[in-house]
Chain A
Amino acid sequence: MADDTLINTLAGIVRSGAPLILAATGETFTERAGVVNLSLDGSLMLAGLAGFVIAFNTQSLILGTAAAIVVGATIALIVAASSIELKQSQVAVGFILTLLCRDLAIFLGTSYRGKAGLPAPHLDIPLLRDIPIAGPILFQQDVFTYLSFAVIIFAWFWIYRTRPGLILRSVGERPPTTFARGGNVNRLRYLYTALGGALVGLAGATYTLNIAPGWNDSAIIGNGWIALAIVIFGGWYPVRVAFGVYLVAGLRTLASGLQANGIPIALLNAIPWLLMIVTLLAVSGPYLDRLLKILPSRLHPLVRTLLRARPPAALGTIFEQEGQK
């Protein structure tokens, strides 16, 4: 029976990690194209609210999810357009949108507090569900969780195994090169920012339609920032990002277990944020280089792959395309 508890816990971690996977992978796409969409904490909430309200009023999960995706993509496009067309700082616009979307969600959501949601149905995958251990953890889940798996695989494949993925990486690293080779830098930036925003919107819907069906702003708040930090911790690699998400989800489950032991909840709630600072220090601080000096050189490539985080070189910059000022 102890095995069952462990398997249930792991399945719970995978399920609760789904929205963070979707949001962080979406932001990875966006940032790989050189755009920072800092609005995640607010857009998760507004998209989540839109998803819940539409699903509640139409009794359709699909329409609700679609609404959330549209909201997420629209917010992301505001960031892209104000950077590309209006030359405004992505950080400034993103930060203001964080506050605006959050407050708008809280304002518009007041009448939807406490209304019962419609949870996404469980959907076991035949054959795969019967694999011992992995079956119950991975394949006896719901649609949103399966989507999160698909997104990890798709992101890795797209970025590293396809030609458009190669171009995407070059847009984020050296936009002039992309332009010289005939790529339309700003159009690609619009495209990937919208894609990233759509995934963030889907993540918002995952909160209000799956993780905790219903509208509860305090269940979402803060997660956008965690997702943004995980993108850095993941070094802009989709698979490492996914690893970071499950690490965070696992530690949260562990922390909620500790709560029973009488440790004040306020201190436990501070742990993820302490962890965020520590991991950011580990991947971007000077400590990695010091660690590499101590370790034998055979281990260097492994440690670098696991811990090195170098942002795309053109992240947050504005690309002035010739002939189109």
Chain B
Amino acid sequence: MDVVRRSDNRFTGLIRLAVTLGPALLIVVVALALILLAINKDPVTAVLQFIDGALGTDQRRSDVLMIALPVLLCSSGLLLTFTAGLWNIGIEGQVAMGAIFATGIARLVTVNTSSWLAIPAELALAMLGGALWALLAALLKTRGNVNEIFGGVALNFIAGNILLFLLNGPWQAGNYPQTAPFEAPALLPRLTPSLSLSLPALAIAATGFLAVFFILRGTHWGLQLRAMGRNARSAFMLGVRTERNMLLSMALCGMLAGLAGALLVISPISRGKLVPNISGGLGFLGVLVVLLVNVLPTWVPFVALFFAIIPIGTLKLQNLGIDPSLGNVFQSALVLAVLLANGFRTRLSRTSRES
């Protein structure tokens, strides 16, 4: 299946992104301003509050960066699957499974456990959990001929219900559906006590992204994935082992999603415990990031950072009586607008060539 049109040339990709992103951003901002006016809110105050809420203090800037890390991990994994022509919509469930598997270790950690033992174990288990859940969707596709979108959606809901089952049953602590807070050695360390910034978290996400970048830009296997994404059948005819590559790219994506899930329970910005709906749309946000950049790896960290501003900034909008879900509307509307603007641009250039 043809996922999205890609441009091979990095430079024209950049120009295209700029030409389409500008008008798209403008349209979406105007549309949201109109919605705010319609419900009697002042859009200008809202924008100022939003910017202050996201970037006003060192704490907030550090929060934005830390939120961006799991988004970056998910998007990196999705770069692999999208390149291979797969719609890994099941990434939400893979994030949840990562969080669940990491919690499996983290809740056993006591005050006396060494962090050097606990954290690597949590991360390893999270990668395992995410990869297994992704492999399930992949096997359903390769062996059972079940479209990965539908298999993924079903596995997302199943993962969400497993999470709820654990939090209302075996893992419940207290009256609410949540685990007990983890002990300090289970959590990733902060750089300074006042900021949420954590160097290990930053290193994990950066490693994940750079590994994917290297695979796609510098390895033969990355080239195989691209061939599969373009035309799986001809790639197969040319000797690419498409089934193995599908399973492998899904498993790698699941590993990165699992790491993102681990960050959601043990990074300083997390609550340090497992709660319901732990992923909270983060995996889908990764899908939006990758669609926005047209599967161009270079731009993923910037867009992930940009998208991470939104949930932090919209928190402040609650003071104005604006529901933070407006931020989600902004993200998906922007990606839709960019896709449509892309279409308009190609259409215009096609008509001008003909005339």
Contact = CB atoms under 8 A, between A and B. Distances in A.
B87 interface: yes
Contacts of A125: none
B150 A228 contact: yes
B339 A96 contact: yes
B326 A273 contact: no
B95 interface: no
26 contacts: A38-B149, A86-B340, A86-B343, A86-B344, A87-B346, A87-B347, A89-B3, A91-B3, A96-B288, A96-B332, A100-B332, A103-B325, A106-B325, A107-B323, A225-B150, A266-B168, A270-B161, A270-B165, A273-B154, A277-B140, A277-B154, A280-B150, A281-B140, A284-B144, A284-B146, A285-B146
Given A107-B323, A269-B161, A285-B144, A91 B87 contact: yes
Given A91-B1, A91-B149, A277-B140, A97 B336 contact: yes
Contacts of B339: 82, 88, 92-93, 96
A277 B328 contact: no
B164 interface: yes
Contacts, number: 139
A41 to B, nearest CB: 8
A222 interface: yes
Given A264-B165, A264-B168, A285-B145, A93 B150 contact: no
A200 interface: no
Interface residues of B, number: 51
B189 to A, nearest CB: 34
Contacts of A96: 288, 291, 332, 335-336, 339
A286 interface: yes
Contact of A87 (B151, B164, B343): B343
B219 to A, nearest CB: 26
Contact of A95 (B89, B158, B169): B89
Nearest to B338: A96
B165 A316 contact: no
Q: List the 7 closest A-B pairs by CB distance, nearest first.
A: A86-B343, A266-B165, A103-B328, A100-B332, A266-B164, A270-B161, A285-B144
Prevailing SS type, chain A contact patch: helix
B182 interface: no
B157 interface: yes
A266 B161 contact: yes
A281 B144 contact: yes
A263 to B, nearest CB: 10
B301 to A, nearest CB: 21
A115 B187 CA distance: 43
Interface in A278-315: 280-281, 284-287
B4 to A, nearest CB: 6
Contacts of A106: 323, 325, 328
Contacts of A264: 165, 168-169
Nearest to A285: B144
Contacts of B4: 89, 92
Contacts of A95: 87, 89, 149, 287
Interface string B1-27: 111100000000000000000000000
Contacts of A228: 150
A38 B316 CA distance: 33
A186 B162 CA distance: 44
Interface string A214-252: 000000001001001100100000000000000000000
A5 to B, nearest CB: 29
A106 B150 CA distance: 23
A145 B265 CA distance: 45
Interface string B282-299: 001001100100000000
A94 B115 CA distance: 44
A271 to B, nearest CB: 9
Contacts of B287: 95
B333 interface: yes
Interface string B304-339: 000000000000000000010110110011011001
Contact of A273 (B35, B157, B325): B157
Interface string B145-174: 111011101110110011011001100000
Contacts of B143: 285-286
A276 interface: yes
A17 to B, nearest CB: 20
Contacts of A325: 350, 354
B325 A107 contact: yes
A108 B291 CA distance: 25
Contacts of B332: 96-97, 99-100, 103
Contacts of B343: 82, 85-88
